[in-house]
Amino acid sequence: MRLLGRILAMVLVLVIPLLLMAASCNLALYNTMSSEQTYRTAFADRSLLDDIRPFAIPALFDAAGVQPDSYRGNLTLQKLISDIDIDNWQSIMEEAVSVTWMQERFDQLLRLFTGILANNYDTLDESVDVEAVKGQLQGDNGTQVAARILEFAPVCTAAQETQLAAFQATSQGDFPLCNTSDEALEAFSVSHVTGWLALLSDQMQSVTAGEFYNLNRTEARGLHVIVKLDEQISYVMYLCPTALLALIVFFTVRSFRSFGRWIGGTLLLSGIGVLAALVVMQIFFVNLLSEATQPMTETQRLFTQVIVSLTRAGMGGITQSMLLQAALMILAGFGLFALTALVGRNELVSTGTTVLVTEDGQVISSTSLPQIPTGTGSTSRQSGASAAPVSSATTPRDS
């Protein structure tokens, strides 16, 4: 029966660290998801503004379900985005989408996510201010944006120069979106792009926050349920390894020294496992972020950028939580080992029994030697097999 108990304990020693690893990961995720500071940190990141701003105007049209009409010369928003490098497109959007407007969207996002945690979804019905964006695309502001677009457009080839001059004269064919060195053609290009931006602003429609961020009430409620379910799971996931530790104590532990070895070793192994799980999670999130560049609609792209930023902000909290849990497990494990060694040393000093040690280092317990009566009524203990000199030492009683 004792052998079966030890076998069961060794199996549990392998299972418990896996359960504690899962519980540690889950607790770190829950603490990060349910913390308002995570969202504040993500939305205070300047890089998020730069990541989202290029998709703001396309996302407004996509959220409204409107495909903007092409302008004279087949000038379209998609053509503009495809012809200009993403970094240059970000610089252009600095003129078209103000920092104030983006900060309002971040504040709206913060209300949205904190509302989901509190089971409040009113933010989804709030409107997104499109008038401020329209104002940036009209009049003198529109002219500045047009000049910026042409500044970052590819340099015109000789064929494009000829095509641009022909379009200026006849308004027939395609308008080449390029940066010309001819002042007259440049002025015409700025005027043409300015007219297209004015048409673009006229076609913008008001949208709600839910439409803009591609999130409806059903999905928001689902996120709330996931967070609450994760909270309940966190408690259960720590109760399971605790119950298994109790089984180890019941079947195997017979002394404090045994308790220190079994429980301390299990906790030490669990702490190392949590550190390994943290490394795996970081690799997983890196791969997840790399997959965020897959083709998607503009609203999906915008919302993905938000999730990516939240993930970056959350990894700091996850790492801190898991490192703290791993440190506690490792310290508890080493502490139990240290206490076990200290108790054993005290037993060696205060509660020992005499043993005999032969010259070749063999230990002979004093209790195993035959009792030989002497003439004085006392007993002497000696080995019947060896007359070699022996020395005495003290050892603790077997626990």
Q: What pLDDT, in 10s, does the model give residues 335-360?
A: 888 888 787 666 555 555 555 555 55
Query: Domain ends where: 212, 234, 255?
Result: 212
CB-CB contact of 329 with 20 (8 Å): yes
Give φ, ψ of 156 to 5 degrees: -65, 135
Non-local CB neighbours of 372 within 8 Å, separated by 6+ positions: 379, 380, 381, 382
Whether residue 139 is found in the same domain as residue 247: no
For residue 117, is pLDDT > 90?
Answer: no
Which residue segment(s) compose the domain that 151 sits in?
37-212
Whether residue 189 is found in the same domain as residue 239: no
Residue 378 domain flag: no
Query: Domain ends where: 157, 192, 212?
Result: 212
Structure tokens at 397: 């009683």
Whether residue 89 is found in the same domain as residue 204: yes
Q: Which pLDDT score, from 0 to 100, does residue 257 have?
A: 79
Mean pLDDT (the chain) is: 79
Non-local CB neighbours of 233 within 8 Å, separated by 6+ positions: 26
CA nearest neighbour of 234 among 35, 32, 27? 27
* Cα–Cα distance for residue pair 300/205, rounded to 1 Å: 19
Give residue 146's pLDDT band: very low, low, confident or very high (50, 70, 90).
Answer: very high
CA nearest neighbour of 229 among 32, 35, 26, 36? 26
Whether residue 207 is found in the same domain as residue 99: yes
The mean pLDDT of 71-91, rounded to a whole number, is: 80
Q: Which pLDDT score, from 0 to 100, does residue 385 have?
A: 43
CB-CB contact of 146 with 194 (8 Å): yes
What single-letter DSSP state applies at residue 243?
Answer: H
Structure tokens at 384: 């019947």
Q: Which pLDDT score, from 0 to 100, does residue 370 have?
A: 56
CA nearest neighbour of 113 among 39, 48, 14, 63? 39
* Cα–Cα distance for residue pair 231/308, rounded to 1 Å: 23
The more confidently predicted of residues 191 and 251 is 191
For residue 186, is pLDDT > 80?
Answer: yes
Structure tokens at 347: 């037993």
Whether residue 49 is found in the same domain as residue 107: yes
Whether residue 41 is found in the same domain as residue 150: yes
Give residue 386's pLDDT band: very low, low, confident or very high (50, 70, 90).
Answer: very low
Q: Which pLDDT score, from 0 to 100, does residue 291 have?
A: 62
Structure tokens at 170: 């006849």
Taking only the tens place, the pLDDT of each residue in 244-290 is: 888 888 878 777 778 888 888 888 999 999 999 888 888 887 776 66
The domain total for the chain is: 2
The C-alpha angle 291, 294, 300, rounded to 5 degrees, equals 105
Whether residue 157 is found in the same domain as residue 245: no
What percentage of residues in the chain have a pLDDT greater than 70? 81
Which range, of 35-49, 55-69, 170-184, 287-301, averages the lowest pLDDT?
Answer: 287-301
Residue 29 domain flag: no
Residue 379 domain flag: no
The more confidently predicted of residues 115 and 257 is 115
* Cα–Cα distance for residue pair 101/105, rounded to 1 Å: 6
Structure tokens at 194: 């300015």
Q: What is the dihedral of CA 331, 335, 336, 341, to 10 degrees?
A: 140
Query: Domain ends where: 185, 212, 239?
Result: 212
> Exposed, middle or buried, 5 (CB in 10 Å: 0-12/13-18/19+)?
middle
